Structure 1
Amino acid sequence: MRWDALFADLESQFEALQDAELYGEVADRIRAEVGKITVLDRLRGAVGTVIRIEVQDAEPVRGVLTRVGKDCLLLETEWSEEWLVPVDALVAVHRLGPWAKPAVGAVEGKLGLAHLLRGIARDRSPVTLFCSGGGPVTGTVDRVGADFLELAEHPLDAPRRRTEVYNVRLVPTRALRALRRR
């Protein structure tokens, strides 16, 4: 009987060690997988949900995350505003949830800030730009280059007419913190 108890005790210790080893291995694998997740993956996992973002040189924005590009995100607020924000300008993101999603497809992984800015330039929509080190600037995006955009500055409530434009501003895209379109 004592031998049976001894063997039973040794077997339970062995099983406990195996469980602990398995738990440690699983935890290591989880840490390794989480280490591969990017900010963009986390943002893609929250598409369709209401989040709040903090952006350098702009006010915090709350809205539905509608799209995530290769280097930017698009939020739609309850006031029918669209906010285009480069990922590099994010300070914090709140209410993301626990999900992550990798880029799926060739198009989703390649569309980025420059593509979206060119679409805004084609639309001729009046916008408000928030740039590093300065206050908001209003106007219409005229051109988008490889690493810059040109904004025809005019009042937000006035159409882009030669008589309304008082300045053309070149903004390096690395200085862009957010763009708001109504």
Structure 2
Amino acid sequence: MRWEALFADLEAQLGAARATEAAADVAELTRAERATVELGSRLRAAHGHVLTLRSGAARVTGTVLDVAEQWVLLADGPARWLVPTAGVTAVRGLPLHAAPAPGAVERRLSLGHALRAVARDRATVRVVLDDEELSGRVDRVGADHLDLTVPDPRPGAVWAVPFRAVRAVRTG
């Protein structure tokens, strides 16, 4: 009887030690997995969520409609906000989980692609920069800049705006 109790106690101790070791392994693997998660993966997982993005002095809140590697598209009522991810300084409202890596097509959808779609619409937009906002129409999109024609009676009222300076583009 005593031997059985001794072996049962030893087995219980061994089981507890194994459970503690397994919990430590799981915690370490979880930390290692979280270290590989990029912001873009969490943004993609936020499709349909309401987020607030800070980009320079701009603060944009809206429902996530689409996400690509270089930009996020948010809806705020009828307005749409195209926010370059390179300038995002903080995000509020992200879910804790992450989406899988984007596909090949999604990886190729650059900020230029999104801005060319805006230019095709010929709509008046508001381009938010660090220290001001410009309103006008995106007429041309180059490799690293856009041409914004502003309403001005003088000819040549066009601003060439480098992508790196754009914090957000509002349509609608």
Q: Tell me the TM-score normalised to structure 2 length.
A: 0.91
1-structure distance, mates of 2:15, 2:60: 52
* 2-structure distance, mates of 1:136, 1:6: 78
Identical residues among aligned pairs (%): 42
Q: CA deviation at 1:77?
A: 0.3
Task: Output the amino acid matched with 1:22.
Answer: A
Secondary structure in 1 matching 2:167: strand
The reply to whether residue 137 of structure 1 matches residue 134 of structure 2 is yes
- Counterparts in 2 of 1:70-85, with a 5 A limit? 70-78=69-77, 80-85=78-83
2:151 — aligned with what? 154
Contact 1:130–1:177, Cα closer than 8 Å, also in 2: yes
The correspondence of residues 87-102 of structure 1 with structure 2, limited to 5 A, is 87-102=85-100
Greater shift in the superposed pair: 101-110 or 82-91: 101-110
- Between 143-152 and 105-114, report the one with greater CA deviation: 105-114
Please give the alpha-carbon distance, in whole angstroms, between the structure 2 residues aligned to 1:25 and 1:4. 31
8 Å contact kept, 1:72–1:112 = yes
Partners of 1:7 and 1:52 lie apart in 2 by: 59
Question: In 2 relative to 1, CA 165–5 (structure 1 residues): closer, same or farther, beyond 3 Å?
Answer: farther
Shift of residue 57, structure 1, vs aligned partner: 2.2
Count of aligned residue pairs for this structure pair: 172
In the alignment, what sits opposite 2:20? 20
User: Which letter maps to 1:180?
Assistant: R
- Confirm or deny: 8 A CA contact 1:103 1:109 kept in the other structure: no
Structure 2 unpaired stretches of 5+ = none
Whole-Å separation in 2 of the counterparts to 1:51 and 1:88: 17
Superposition map of 1:96-115 within 5 A: 96-115=94-113
Whether the 8 Å CA contact 1:153–1:165 is kept in 2: the answer is: no
* TM superposition shift of 1:109: 2.2
Report the secondary structure of 1:142's partner residue: strand
Aligned-partner Cα distance in 2 for 1:165–1:90: 34
RMSD: 1.8
CA distance in 1 between partners of 2:11 and 2:155 (Å): 83
| Unmatched segments (≥5 aa) in structure 1 | 156-162
Q: Higher mean Cα deviation, 93-102 or 31-40? A: 93-102
Superimposed CA distance per residue, residues 63-102 of structure 1 (whole angstroms, 9 cap, x where no aligned partner): 1100001111000102x11000011222222222222112
Aligned counterpart for 2:168 among listed residues 150, 154, 178: 178
**TM-score, structure 1 normalization:** 0.86
1:120/1:164 Cα in 2 relative to 1: closer, same or farther (>3 Å)? farther
SS at match of 2:22: helix
Contact 1:154 1:165 in 2 (8 A): no
SS at match of 1:102: coil
Match of 2:46 in 1: 46
Residue aligning to 1:158: none
State the match for 1:10 in structure 2: 10
